[in-house]
Each structure stands twice: as C-alpha cells, then as structure tokens.
C-alpha cells in the first residue's frame, strides 16, 4: 500500500486540480495492479500528523516554506517523497527564498510557468520539472465540467456582473494582517516593509472606489445582480457586513470557473481570474489599476480598464494564448497535460507504507491535538474550505469516492 498526501490551502481554487492529479495517480496504479491511497486534507492539519510521522509517505505541497522544512526532513529520513508546485499561474515570488527555500529537500519541484522553471532551476532543488499547472487542465474542461453549476447560477442570479476580489488585507480574517507578515519574517529590510505598507494603503483607497462602483452598478438596470466574490483569504463575514445595506450580493462558494462562465461581465483589481477569463475567451475589466499594475499579465489580458467612477478605457490585449508564460504544449487543447506529468512523477516516487502505523499516527495525533483541530475547523479562515464540497468536485471528475468528510475538508481516495 502506498500513500500520498495532498494538503490544500484554498479549496475553491485548488480542489478540482488536485483531484484531477488523484484521478491520474489512481489510473496509473491500476495499470500496475497496485493500490495508492490519496488523502486530501487542510494544509494546517498535515503538520499535526507529521509531528509523529515515522513511515514512508509522499506529499505534494504548495510551497517549500521554512516553517514546513523540519517535517520535510522527517519525510526524507523515512524514505518518503516531497514535491511542491507554485499554485499561482504566474509566479510573483520566485525571488523569495522564504517561499521556495534554498535547501535540497524536495524530491522534485513542479514549475507552472517558464518564469518558475528558470527561477527554480537556479536554486539547490533536486529536480525541476516544467509541468504547467493542473488548474489549466481543469480550465480546458470547464465548460463541460461546470455545465450544471453554470445553469444553476444563471437561473438564480440572472444576468449578473461578477467582481472577483483580492482585498485580503483590507478585508482580512483576524489572524491575517501586516503584523502576521512581520511574524513570518518575510521582510528583509525596513524599506521593503514600508514599500508594502504604502502599497496596502493604495489598495485600501482602491477598495473604497470599488465599493462605490459596485453599489452604483447594482442600482442600475444593466445587470440583474452584482456579485462580490471574496478572495479565499478574505473575511466573508466582514464582506457581508460591508455590503449589508446595498444590493451587492456577497457569495463565496465552489470553483470560480463556474462563476466566470455564468457571468455577463467580469471585474477585478489584478486577479488571476482575469487570466482564466481570458483563456476562456471571456472579457475582463480591470477596476482602478495602480501604476504598478500596468505591466502585469492580469492587466494586459483585460479588455478594458476603469480609472475613475465614470470613465472606461478600452485597450488592445497585448498577449496571446501562446505567450503568456505557460508551457506551449499546455496551450493546445490537452485536458490532462499537467496532471499527467505530476501524477506520473509522484507515482514513480511512491514507496510502500506501513498503513497500520500510519493510522495509529493519525489517531494519536488527532487525540493529542484535538483542541487545535477543533479551532481549525471553526475558524472563519476555513469558510471557503467548508463551501467547497469535495464530493461535488469528485462527482464532476467522475471519481468514485471511497471516504469523504466534506465539512472537514478531508477526502480519502483509493
């Protein structure tokens, strides 16, 4: 028996893509008459298990962060495998050693883009693979995968405008703030910290403009509904309170692709959903771009931008599908390009696991950390996880589920 863990941070963004990898791993195992247990679980739950971990398992994580390295070392000592993939399509953190690390700990790193591949290849990484991102695999299949959800959204909200938010700091859960960044030691200098504080101040002022624009839009007859979709790191309860006395509807659930496909117009302030909309041949409008936004990909693939409440400027899109930094082979209609590469690499690195010992470890860890786990699942930061049902995503991908705990965000497949 072989075991691979898939810790997830943002379920609404990562879940479908991870399940596609699970599907590919399972299919490969069946060819060799083997059984692989794939376990999806919240990112913060895995370290609690690995504290007592003493058997061979594999892990596909989002990043190689410093705080996770002691557990990676333990995995390696037990002859397990550790892989990571940057979840964003177009990496903005390649020069940040805190995020990617500089130690030769991982078995392999998967690069979503050419930029990632170049950056990671310069580090002391055991093996770097240009895999593309499985989220784009899902995107290739999205119109058929989300047909039911798209129809339901249109029936419920009519012709709606969708704003995909990324105001994590202006509208943040209690434990997600600038002070938390200080604790994580992300800043390398005082000037770097001040630069970010200045940027956050501009973002805060932009939020006020967005609020005015969306509330005005919701009063017009242009759309039946205006949807504010909080970023996975935003506070849903605060967003509900902010828009309480307006006609703007705050919703945070399921994969954003179904919302993009169902919407009549897409608005954003520098979000990767603009790239997804572009690849789906939908138009995205950039609201109140900052000077620093003009050179970003999310701006260049937007069909127009609004620089004041009553001014819309159309500009020519300067990017084509073949030059937006993803592997060229993935721009061709290949719905399993990235997930196949990642699944095959993980499968080759799997070793037999002492399953009984692993189960005992999980049980003891759960008992030992029951208070922490209890708080984890009540945290508002986990709202998006609870609103993204593993069973729904598994059903979309025609994966026969063996053991799913939807509320807890845990899925076991074999």
pLDDT tens track for 240-252: 999 999 999 999 8
Q: What is the CATH number of the domain that holds 281?
A: 3.40.50
- 334 & 313 share domain: no
pLDDT > 70: percent of the chain: 85
Paired strand residues for 58: 4, 81
**pLDDT band per the 50, 70, 90 thresholds, residue 142:** very high
Residue 166 lies in a domain: yes
- 117 & 190 share domain: no
Q: Indicate the number of domains in the chain.
A: 2
Residue 139 lies in a domain: no
Last residue of a domain, one of 288, 320, 352: 320
Higher pLDDT, 117 or 182: 117
**pLDDT band per the 50, 70, 90 thresholds, residue 159:** very high
**pLDDT computed for residue 385 by the predictor:** 67
Tell me if the pTM is above 0.85.
yes
- 312 & 389 share domain: no
Residue 396 lies in a domain: yes
**pLDDT computed for residue 228 by the predictor:** 96
Place of tokens 């900052």: 290
Instruction: Report whether 118 contacts 130 (CB < 8 A).
Output: no
- 293 & 337 share domain: no
Residues in the chain: 414
| Mean pLDDT, the chain, integer | 84
- 331 & 316 share domain: no
Q: In which domain, by residue range, is 98 found? A: 2-133+326-413
- 284-287 and 265-268 beta bridge pairing: parallel
Higher pLDDT, 118 or 262: 262
15-19, 277-281, 354-358, 371-375 — which one is most confidently predicted on average? 15-19
Instruction: Report whether 133 contacts 107 (CB < 8 A).
Output: no
245 burial (CB, 10 Å; 0-12 / 13-18 / 19+) is exposed
Three-point CA angle 320, 330, 277, nearest 5°: 50
Within a 13 Å sphere around the CA of 321, how many CA atoms are in the beta-carbon half?
A: 13
- 20 & 163 share domain: no
272-331 tens-digit pLDDT = 889 899 888 888 999 998 888 888 888 888 988 888 666 667 666 665 555 667 787 777
Last residue of a domain, one of 279, 295, 320: 320
Is the pLDDT reported for residue 91 higher than 60?
no
Residue 390 lies in a domain: yes
| CB crowding 383-407: b at 16 or more within 10 Å, else e | bbbbebbbebbbebeebeeeebeee
- 309 & 330 share domain: no
């Amino acid at each position: 028996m072989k075991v691979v863990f898939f810790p997830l941070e943002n379920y609404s963004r990562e879940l479908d893509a991870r399940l596609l990898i699970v599907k590919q791993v399972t299919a490969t195992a069946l060819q060799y008459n083997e059984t692989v247990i794939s376990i999806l679980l919240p990112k913060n739950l895995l370290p609690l298990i690995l504290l007592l971990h003493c058997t061979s398992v594999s892990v596909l994580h989002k990043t190689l962060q410093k705080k996770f390295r002691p557990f990676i070392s333990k995995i390696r000592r037990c002859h397990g495998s550790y892989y990571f993939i940057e979840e964003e399509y177009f990496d903005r953190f390649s020069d940040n050693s805190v995020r990617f690390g500089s130690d030769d700990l991982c078995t392999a790193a998967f690069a979503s883009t050419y930029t990632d591949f170049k950056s990671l290849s310069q580090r002391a990484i055991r093996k770097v693979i240009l895999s593309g991102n499985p989220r784009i695999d899902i995107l290739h299949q999205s119109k058929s995968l989300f047909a039911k959800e798209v129809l339901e959204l249109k029936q419920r909200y009519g012709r709606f405008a969708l704003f995909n938010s990324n105001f994590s700091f202006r509208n943040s859960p209690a434990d997600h703030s600038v002070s938390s960044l200080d604790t994580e030691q992300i800043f390398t200098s005082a000037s770097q910290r001040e630069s970010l504080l200045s940027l956050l101040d501009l973002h805060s002022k932009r939020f006020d403009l967005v609020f005015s624009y969306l509330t005005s839009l919701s009063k017009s007859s242009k759309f039946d509904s205006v949807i504010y979709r909080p970023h996975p790191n935003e506070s849903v309860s605060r967003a509900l309170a902010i828009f309480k006395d307006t006609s703007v509807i705050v919703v945070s659930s399921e994969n954003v692709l179904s919302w993009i496909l169902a919407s009549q117009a897409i608005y954003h302030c520098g979000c990767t959903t603009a790239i997804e909309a572009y690849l789906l041949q939908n138009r995205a409008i950039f609201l109140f771009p900052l000077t620093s936004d003009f050179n970003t990909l999310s701006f260049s693939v937007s069909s127009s931008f609004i620089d004041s409440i009553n001014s819309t400027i159309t500009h020519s899109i300067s990017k084509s599908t073949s030059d937006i930094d993803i592997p060229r082979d993935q721009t061709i209609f290949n719905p399993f390009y990235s997930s196949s590469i990642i699944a095959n690499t993980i499968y080759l690195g799997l070793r037999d696991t002492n399953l009984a010992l692993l189960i005992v470890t999980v049980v003891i860890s759960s008992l030992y950390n029951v208070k922490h786990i209890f708080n984890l699942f009540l945290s508002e930061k986990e709202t998006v996880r609870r609103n993204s049902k593993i069973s729904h995503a598994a059903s979309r991908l025609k994966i026969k589920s063996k053991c799913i705990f939807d509320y807890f965000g845990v899925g076991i497949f074999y």
